[in-house]
Amino acid sequence: QVQLVESGGGLVQPGGSLRLSCAVSGSILSIYAMGWYRQAPGKQRELVASITSGGSTNYADSVKGRFTISVVNVKNTVYLQMTSLKPEDTAVYYCNVDGRTIATSRRNYWGQGTHVTVSS
């Protein structure tokens, strides 16, 4: 079984910063990529940023230059540093892991989500 535990969400003023963390535990054997998605009220879930096991990153155009994804492999933890936050960044942020266990083939795993609210 694989668990993804997110933390770091909250309320922040426009222009502020937050750092999200996602710790992966359990029987994960291989991780191919990790990422962050978000879902705002009434909207579809969208990719925010991702990073492959080789270190390649991908960002949504709306967050380029403001958000940075990073990973600490020995901790199986992925971070999302968010700066210059805007009200439109308000959403539930979900951690995602593309990986496999001994018992399962490659698949996506999801965290429970953490709320980010950008408001004055």
Tens digit of each residue's pLDDT (9 = 90 or more) over 27-68:
888 999 999 999 999 999 999 999 999 999 999 999 999 999
Residue 71: the pLDDT is 95
* Residue of 105, 118, 18, 108 lying closest to 68 (CA atoms): 18
Measured at the alpha carbon of residue 55, what is the angle toward residues 49 and 60, in degrees to the nearest 5? 20
C-beta of residue 114 within 8 angstroms of C-beta of residue 6 = yes
Residue 29: the pLDDT is 85
How much of the chain, in percent, has pLDDT values that exceed 90?
A: 88
Strands 18-26 and 46-52: unpaired
How far is 34 from 96, CA to CA, in rounded Å? 6
Kindly state the helix (H) or strand (E) to which residue 7 belongs, with its residue range: strand 2-7
